[in-house]
Amino acid sequence: MPQPEPPPMIADADIDRGKLVYHQYCGVCHGAGVKGGGVIPDLRYTVAGKHMVWEDIVRGGILAEQGMVSFAEVVSKEDSRAIQAYVISEAHRLKEETTQ
């Protein structure tokens, strides 16, 4: 599957914090280092539309029927944004690796 163009980096988010929180709550399903495979989506391939509703997915639970429950009780808005920044940074890393 071709990788969609990653969105711009989130300048005011803490990527290191995002990496930490991602591995605490997201990595079990979406893979270590944001390298998912199989049934659960590889978040490095997240399309722009889903990035636009990231908060609604992570904390709002809009994809609960598909198995992505709300993490609002354990992931703050700031942490959600940091996770998204980390995911975007890994998408950019993948893009660089595949275009060399």
Examine the pLDDT at 37 and tell me if it is beyond 80: no
Predicted local distance difference test score (pLDDT) of residue 2: 85
Domain 15-98 falls under CATH 3.40.1170.60: no
Amino acid found at 66: Q
What's the CA gap between 57 and 55, in Å, rounded? 5
Predicted local distance difference test score (pLDDT) of residue 99: 86
- Provide the residue ranges of all domains of the chain, joining segments of one domain with +: 15-98
Predicted local distance difference test score (pLDDT) of residue 81: 97
Q: How confident is the model at residue 39 (pLDDT cuts 50, 70, 90)?
A: confident
- Is 33 exposed, middle or buried, given 0-12, 13-18 or 19+ CB atoms closer than 10 A? middle
25 and 74 in contact (C-beta within 8 Å)?
yes
What's the CA gap between 17 and 95, in Å, rounded? 22
Predicted local distance difference test score (pLDDT) of residue 20: 98
Instruction: Tally the C-alpha atoms within 13 A of residue 21's C-alpha that lie toward its C-beta.
Output: 23
Which whole number is the average pLDDT over 64-85?
A: 97
Tell me the pLDDT tens digit for each residue of 51-62: 999 999 999 999
Amino acid found at 78: E
